[in-house]
Structure 1
Amino acid sequence: MAEHTLNIRKPYFNLIASGAKTIEVRVGYPKIRKINAGDILRVSSGDDTLTTRVAEVKEYESFQALLETEEATAIGGPDMTHDQLVTAIRGIYPPEKEALGVFAFHLTPV
């Protein structure tokens, strides 16, 4: 079991802290590929940090494949529509980053 830290935008941090967001999405940078089920994941936004455990890791070829399988509300929160989620993800990760692979980290509280 390893420990990892990820920086996250404040709105998504708050959703994880509230329990509404249970899936964190990232692209396949080398650092991300080292995260495994069972690992501790510290999520930080500014001065705030919370600790979660990675319950499951799933890899997808694209954001479309991810969104066909995973619950959009678990990724973007209950108030974000599927289309809004696609726009938000594409605003963070351009196509060349998506090509690295898409990872869904299923999080549970510690």
Structure 2
Amino acid sequence: MTETAAVRVRELHLYRRYFDIVAAGEKTIEVRVKYAHLEDLTPGDVIRFRIKGTDETRDVLVKRVTEYKTFEELLDGEGPANVNPASSREQQLANIREIYPAEKEALGALAIEIELMPQ
């Protein structure tokens, strides 16, 4: 008999504007700060994105996690269209830094490649 490891499900909040492009399958890279609770995130994990204050969720499979020193390096390495196809690189950088100030960025930036899971 073979044992299968339990799938780890992490719940993370998303703003509506980002949730919608994840749910549409247009956003394939999620950007996060390398907080301690995300350090062990690995391919095969599931992220359940939730719009804060709602019951609306969407599950995605983690395909890859890549660490970068800065958000600029992340956008250049992953391609801005994969992070948010509706915004320019400069607008994305401004938006990300509005969410995560410099002291958070100093922790490191994570590019999480995601794939929609069947509903």
Amino acid at match of 1:38: G
Q: Which runs of 5+ in 2 are unaligned?
A: 1-6
CA distance in structure 2 between the aligned counterparts of 1:82 and 1:100, rounded to whole angstroms: 21
* Alignment RMSD: 0.9
Q: Deviations over 1:2-55 (max 9, x none)?
A: 111100100000000001111110001111212111101101113210111000
CA distance in structure 2 between the aligned counterparts of 1:21 and 1:102, rounded to whole angstroms: 17
Rg larger for? 2
Shift >6 Å, 4+ stretches: none
For 1:80, what is the secondary structure of its paired residue?
A: coil
Alignment of 1:66 onto 2:101: no
The equivalent position to 1:90 in structure 2, one of 93, 97, 107, is 97
Q: Going by fraction, where is helix more abundant, 1 or 2?
A: 1
- Identity fraction in percent: 37
The equivalent position to 1:42 in structure 2, one of 40, 48, 64, is 48
Map of 1:7 onto structure 2:
13
Q: Deviations over 1:60-81 (max 9, x none)?
A: 01111111211101112x2201
Report how many residues are paired: 109
Q: What TM-score comes out, normalization by structure 1 length?
A: 0.94
Map of 1:75 onto structure 2:
83
CA distance in structure 2 between the aligned counterparts of 1:47 and 1:23, rounded to whole angstroms: 23
